[in-house]
Structure 1
Amino acid sequence: MTRFVVTGTDTGIGKTIFSAGLAQATGASYWKPIQSGLEDETDSEVVARLAGVPIIPEAHRLVTPASPHIAAEIDGVNIDVESVTPPPGDLIVEGAGGALVPVTRTTLYADLFAAWQIPVIVCARTALGTINHSLLTIEALRARGVPIHGLAFLGHAVEDSEAIIAEISGVRRLGRLPIIDSLTSEALTKAFDANFDLADFR
């Protein structure tokens, strides 16, 4: 069974594109537990457009584009973390922002990941600062007993940064998704297949 949580070292680094590529490659369904911000194309809509896989409706859709904890307060929504439970079957779950983004004022995404015990893939951009951000994310996940499946790098190749993060953390490198200038379903399939080994996700 294919079941992974995709988290990242920051927001806006390409987690959704990676999630779409992974879902497309494995045929797994996609689930974004909490969507904050509905004015632009949502993450679920992006994955549906690029991957063409089944999309599980979000547990919460928040209008305000902000961290879920404050977006829910502004929108007058109560997030019951006990009810935010991944559905069964082959599934790619995408968190919001980084691993320590608050879901409520007392629960972080990493706390949910710890409760779920689904292997996590850490997406890390290759830009300056990624070594620190990546190692901090890995330490935060490990401190909570979250199983880490591997690292997926996003962006232009920076071999030393990618190598030293894997070396210091002991987390395996799954591959690197390059920047795709003209992002289409076909281009994403080609880039994912060329840079990742599907066997690593079985």
Structure 2
Amino acid sequence: MNKFFITGIGTDVGKTVVSAIVVEALKADYWKPIQAGELTHSDIHSVEELISNSRSRMHTHRYALKTPMSPHAAADIDGVQIELSAMKEPETKNNLVIEGAGGLLVPINEQDTILDMIQDDYKVIVVSRHYLGSINHTLLTLSQLRSKGVEVSGIVFNGEEHPSTEAIILKMGQVQEIGRIDQELVLDKKVISKYAQLFKSRLEAL
């Protein structure tokens, strides 16, 4: 059993799409410990709608917060205290894909961030999307992970291709590319299945 932690260089860079691809490629289970906002159509619902296999299980959030804000702030509004000790993984014998919230240094309480949720046995996949400043944000993310002793398994580029940006990130970040996702007009089961097949061999080799 392998555990894959999907993190990103920020919000809305494609973590949930990448999570769905990894889930489909490995027929893995999915778990998002903290969901802030969009509870009626959470990332669990999105992943479930995008995958095609019948083996994967969707595991319940540890914290389901009503407000689409940083977890620490959303929890404060809900009168909830997020505790790292409560982040117990769901029981499964299957591979497990764990999706973070926002970027690494998003606070979950007054002491801890998303980074503190990453365990030693997690295979960490970073999702990067091109925009002005994304090189800096991607390299900072990789550096922050390594400064905490976290090994980075690979990176996925999402969105419009930008070869020079991707090349310098791979070189300076000393990270392997798992794959890239084009700027798709539609994201559905067929598209996710296509990328799952493209990424499968590299994911299995991690």
Q: TM-score, normalised by structure 2?
A: 0.91
Task: Give 2:108's aligned amino acid.
Answer: V
| Counterparts of residues 177-196 of structure 1 (less than 5 Å) | 177-194=181-198, 196=199
What CA distance in whole angstroms lies between the structure 1 residues aligned with 2:103 and 2:131?
16
Structure scoring higher RCO (CA < 8 A, sep ≥ 6) equals 2
Question: Hey, what does 1:61 align to over in structure 2?
Answer: 64
Per-residue CA shift, 1:37-89, capped at 9, x if unaligned? Answer: 03552111100111153101000100011111111011001212111032343
User: Deviation above 4 Å: which 4+ runs of structure 1?
Assistant: none
Does 2:78 match 1:75? yes
SS in 1 for 2:23: helix
Question: Hey, what does 1:135 align to over in structure 2?
Answer: 139
C-alpha RMSD over aligned residues: 1.5
Question: Hey, what does 2:32 align to over in structure 1?
Answer: 32
Which of 93, 98, 101 is equivalent to 1:96?
A: 101
Q: Give % identity.
A: 38
**Alpha-carbon distance, 1:140 to partner:** 0.8
SS in 1 for 2:46: helix
> Does structure 2 conserve the Cα–Cα contact (< 8 Å) formed by 1:180 and 1:188?
no
Question: Hey, what does 1:200 align to over in structure 2?
Answer: 202
Distance 1:128 1:26, change over 3 A: same
Q: TM-score, normalised by structure 1?
A: 0.93
Distance 1:121 1:143, change over 3 A: same
Distance 1:37 1:59, change over 3 A: same
Question: Hey, what does 1:51 align to over in structure 2?
Answer: 51
What CA distance in whole angstroms lies between the structure 1 residues aligned with 2:41 and 2:69?
15
SS in 2 for 1:77: coil
Question: Hey, what does 2:153 align to over in structure 1?
Answer: 149
SS in 1 for 2:108: coil
Q: Which runs of 5 or more residues in structure 2 are unaligned?
A: none
What CA distance in whole angstroms lies between the structure 2 residues aligned with 1:164 and 1:4?
25
Residues matched between the structures, number: 199
Q: Which runs of 5 or more residues in structure 1 are unaligned?
A: none
What CA distance in whole angstroms lies between the structure 2 residues aligned with 1:185 and 1:55?
16
